Amino acid sequence: MFSFFEFGAMLAQASKPGGAGFLGSLFPLILIVLVMYLLLIRPQSKRQKQHRQMVAELKPGDEVVTAGGMHGSIAGIREKQQTLLVKIADNVKVEVDRASIGRVKTDQEKTGRTSD
């Protein structure tokens, strides 16, 4: 099994004496694209998938924090408009986009205990 560096060295040796050759000059670009995919694109896709799953599993009574920092509990779900009614205080409900939910509070956060 060859490593990328050995493969690059083989391509450089196989190239013409006057220039780097097409494959030899293309190798660094392919390597950069691969690294960008592994370090940036793939992790972001995973985070988006987890967020979509979290939003899809929301139900009335869940305590959430919106992307804007509002804390509240879900009072209702409007599937047609893709929005949620979030109760932030007694007799105060706001309608927010499903995508604006940042996270669901954990049991530890709900009880107010900290790990300090």
Whether residue 101 is predicted with pLDDT greater than 80 in this model: the reply is yes
- With a cut of 60, say whether residue 1 has pLDDT above it: no
Residues 91, 103: contact at Cβ < 8 Å?
no
User: Domain 58-111 belongs to what topology?
Assistant: SH3 type barrels. (2.30.30)
pTM over 0.75: no
Q: Answer positive or negative: Cα dihedral of 27, 29, 33, 38.
A: positive
Please report, as a single letter, which amino acid is at residue 61: G
- pLDDT tens by residue, 39-91: 988 899 999 999 999 999 999 999 999 999 999 999 999 988 889 999 999 99
Q: Could you tell me the residue ranges of all domains in the chain? A: 4-54, 58-111
